[in-house]
Amino acid sequence: MSSQPPTPGSNPNTATLRARLQAWCVSMLSIQCDAYALGVALGAGVVYLGRGEAPLSPAVLVVPEGHGGALEADRVAIAPVLAVDLLDAATSPAAARGLIERYAAAGALEYWQIRIETLEEPALYQRNASGGFDRVKPDRQGNYYSGFGESLVFPARWFADQPSLWVMMRHWDIIDD
């Protein structure tokens, strides 16, 4: 599923697409985390221990600011503010739903599922009052609003376009034109 090598019979470009998208997501989130002290964005290889279930291995994990002590080598023991899974075509809808439920039960505040082959339609979820997740759709202008950082507003098309760091920093007024 997430952060795993491509399955036999999958698109031969899946590993390349996954690596590129993962690097871009880490870059995008690192800009926000560094600029607004939201936390630390981590990439491949990090394992979230969760609450009593098998560990989760998201492609990207954001740990809340001030919780550096929760990092134990390649393991994270505190609930992430954001987890991102990059799913390939071999991931069934049932497996994708299972991941949503596991991240909700594990205490993540926000969870993104991005299907590598259909970057146009990422599924973004935010924690609701009952402890589950609600799917968040872009607004009429096509922007997503993150629940973990009020400054993290971005066009839905960014997953497909993967704009440069400079474009993203200008969008968030971190640098001037």
Contact 81, 62 (CB under 8 A): yes
Domain assignment present for 8: no
Total-model pTM: 0.83
For residue 11, the model assigns a pLDDT of 56
30/72 Cα distance (integer angstroms): 20
pLDDT tens, residue by residue, 24-68: 998 888 888 776 666 677 777 777 876 666 788 888 888 877 655
Contact 30, 41 (CB under 8 A): yes
Give the distance, in angstroms, between the CA of residue 24 and the centroid of all CA atoms in the same chain: 11
Domain assignment present for 176: no
Range(s) of the domain holding residue 76: 14-171
Domain assignment present for 177: no
Domain assignment present for 96: yes
C-alpha distance from residue 89 to each of 69, 96, 124, 157 (Å): 36, 11, 18, 20
Contact 72, 51 (CB under 8 A): no
For residue 66, the model assigns a pLDDT of 62
For residue 51, the model assigns a pLDDT of 63
Domain assignment present for 124: yes
Show the tokens assigned to 59.
């492609």
50/19 Cα distance (integer angstroms): 24
For residue 9, the model assigns a pLDDT of 45
Q: At 91, which CATH number?
A: 3.90.1570.10
Top pLDDT among 160 and 148 is at 160
Domain assignment present for 22: yes
Domain assignment present for 119: yes
Show the tokens assigned to 55.
């560990």
For residue 161, the model assigns a pLDDT of 92
137/74 Cα distance (integer angstroms): 32
pLDDT tens, residue by residue, 95-153: 999 999 999 988 889 999 999 988 878 999 999 999 999 999 999 999 999 987 788 89
What is the residue whose two structure tokens read 């993290």? 152
- Residue 5 burial (C-beta neighbours within 10 Å; 0-12, 13-18, 19+): exposed
Domain assignment present for 120: yes
Show the tokens assigned to 51.
């609450």
- Domain count for the chain, please give it: 1
Phi-psi region of 37 (alpha: psi -120 to 50; beta: other; left: phi over 0): left
